[in-house]
Structure 1
């Protein structure tokens, strides 16, 4: 495959970033070749709400044709949502959340100057259920939950709608075990104790071992 540029070739490009410390400048030929697209991306501000139509769904994300944005020269839409930004809830496939042709509103996160895309978040338009759970849950509190997944290092337990926590292998039973299958199965309802609630990383640590102790 021939290279896009060759040594000695004159090009037209736009400066996209400058690193004074390393004395480097990043250029974009795409920006110079698609001034309308570039101007649109540079006009967006983080947190801005954008609307559009789901143009294509891929295993790595969702392309969105923005209502007020230009067409993309390569992709089916200027907007793009990565899989984690689709929903706060756990899901198996992107089609569990959106469908091609669906009209949606998303929050603008940042401009991807490499691909000429507006990176979007659908989940940012919805309340984060983890933060509400953290407000209502104290460390040491006993909670009922259902085992949703077994992994070599423990078990994941759903304790509320959209909220799952990890019971580490060492916290599954009063005595050491080699695998979670020795203690629980997917679908089991168990009582656990909240060991730690990490708001910033949205992580919940649970213990079944502590829950077996008398209150």
Structure 2
């Protein structure tokens, strides 16, 4: 209701400053400053149209819109009727914003013009301006159909903003000024500013009334939303175009280096950027991918821990997808495996320290350093007979062990061999063993093994699967278990 009152007030104000009504002779909507004086004829006489025109006196005001009819035209301008007792004249420079041609304005042609001050025209004529009317009509059409610039003239408390454009009073509700809500205290700061606005759709039943009153409700927020959407669409289009260009360039570079892009070829590449799934490497100007799993033999390492952006390395091509223009690289295949390094660093006979990582029925895996593990068989944990490695070890224990063998990149360890035996303990144990062996029958000694040396069928399957499963991906535990055979008890 407040908005409607504000618009109504501004509408009345508009009628004074910029009259938009047409003369009563041609339209029944022309407000007259002073009431028209009409001479009342006698009841018995018959009135003709000429009598009505002659008996009616109009008050013609500047700014009024009037419909007129062309009487004649010449090089000076167009003479028109339809203004009561006086005719009107439209100077040549007031007829159109284009080239004026008298022959285009023939007698009987009708159009609308605006009353202007009579400065150069004979007082016998009313001065009119058709060009100005056409400009306002175009402006009004733009207001209704598109986006236009509006200077804010007034702030309405608890309402919004007001301005004038063309023949319209424009109201912007507070909720349509910005993308966010504008508080009443901030409305005054918009006075004097220019905003790009767009007319809001008319509410049902209000279109005709508002059209007559020449008022519209507009929104700056809708313009901002449209601009934001347009910017997003433009950015998307530019990205798509850039992507298309890059794809074309990518194909051209690939085709130029097709002979070089073959599996097992070693190529130089410069690291461009890292992702969660690997590193992009530029090879001969072509972007290739080195998957994370192909960067290091050690699991869990981030690409940034292995490579450096901008630095050149050697890679080996492991896959080429010529149809989709993709090349996959490996860095780790050109690097020593952890056990190759470990074999040099920890030769047989070395004493190492590590933590118990995993315990199984037949032994324990000891982590020496990242990517390097060793297996301690249950028979090499202690001099005492054990039912399970868990009898003396638990995950996380730090232990000292001796490297006793390196076979096919598998490190075997012994905890008991790393311990210094008590004086005479070894000799006593050996003597005890000889006595025990001599005491047993020959047949009994042949076919039996100690409980610690036995590996069940199920355990053998675990060993075999662990060592050959593809998902292990060169894990040291799998390498150790693969083909492992428990040693006989000493």
Return the TM-score normalized by structure 1. Answer: 0.56
Aligned twin of 1:206: 413
After superposition, the Cα gap between the structure-2 partners of 1:98 and 1:161, relative to the gap in structure 1 and judged at 3 Å, is closer
Please, which runs of 5 or more residues in structure 1 have no aligned partner?
Answer: 1-32, 72-77
| Pick aligned residue for 1:57 from 276, 282, 290 | 276
Secondary structure, counterpart of 1:176 in structure 2: coil
1:191 is the counterpart of 2:400? yes
RMSD: 3.8
Which protein, 1 or 2, shows the higher relative CO under an 8 Å CA cutoff with sep ≥ 6? 1
CA separation in 2, counterparts of 1:51 and 1:184? 47
1:150 paired to 2:367: no
Say whether 1:43 aligns with 2:260. yes
Match of 1:164?
Answer: 373
Q: Which has the larger radius of gyration?
A: 2
Q: What is the number of residues matched between the two proteins?
A: 166
* Contact 1:41-1:117 at 8 Å conserved across structures: no
**8 A contact 1:173–1:209 mirrored in 2:** yes
Q: Residue 66 of structure 1 corresponds to which residue in structure 2?
A: 282
Cα distance, 1:51 vs structure 2 = 1.5
Work out whether residues 267 and 283 of structure 2, in 8 Å CA contact, stay in contact via their aligned partners in 1. no
SS class of match (1:134): helix
CA contact 1:81–1:122 (8 Å) conserved in 2: no
**Residue aligning to 1:92:** 300
Question: How many Å separate the matches in 2 of 1:67 and 1:97?
Answer: 21
Distance in 2, matches of 1:210 and 1:107, equals 43
Q: What runs of 5+ residues in structure 2 fail to find an aligned partner?
A: 1-249, 427-490
Alignment of 1:22-37 (within 5 A): 34=251, 36-37=253-254
SS at match of 1:173: coil
Q: 1:133 to 1:213 in 2, by over 3 A?
A: same
C-alpha change, 1:103 and 1:176, in structure 2 (3 Å) is farther
Instruction: Flag the structure with higher strand content.
Output: 1
DSSP-derived class of the 2:286 partner: coil
Q: 1:148: Cα distance to partner? A: 4.6
Q: Distance in 2 between matches of 1:157 and 1:48?
A: 37
Give the whole-Å Cα distance in 1 for the aligned partners of 2:395 and 2:357: 6
Rate the CA distance shift 1:169–1:82 in 2: closer, same or farther, 3 A: farther
1:67 Cα offset (Å)? 5.9
Task: Work out which of the residue numbers 294, 317, 330 in structure 2 matches 1:120.
Answer: 330
- Cα distance in structure 2, aligned partners of 1:92 and 1:193: 28
Distance in 2 of aligned mates of 1:104 and 1:169: 47
Aligned partners of 2:319, 2:333: CA distance in 1, in Å? Answer: 19
How far 1:54 moved relative to its partner? 3.0
- The question of whether the paired residues in 1 share the 8 Å contact of 2:376 and 2:414 is answered with yes
Instruction: Report if the CA contact (8 A) 2:296-2:306 is conserved.
Output: no
1:80 corresponds to: 290
**Whole-Å separation in 2 of the counterparts to 1:41 and 1:209:** 58
Distance 1:40 1:171 in 2: 56
The separation in 2 between residues aligned to 1:36 and 1:194, in whole angstroms, is 52
Structure 1 pair 110–65 and aligned structure 2 pair: CA distance change class (3 A): closer
Shift of 1:144: 3.1
- Per-residue deviation at 1:149? 1.0
Are the structure 2 counterparts of residues 155 and 46 from structure 1 closer, same or farther at C-alpha, using a change threshold of 3 Å? farther
More helix by share: 2
Q: Secondary structure at the match of 2:387?
A: coil
CA distance in 2, matches of 1:202, 1:162: 12
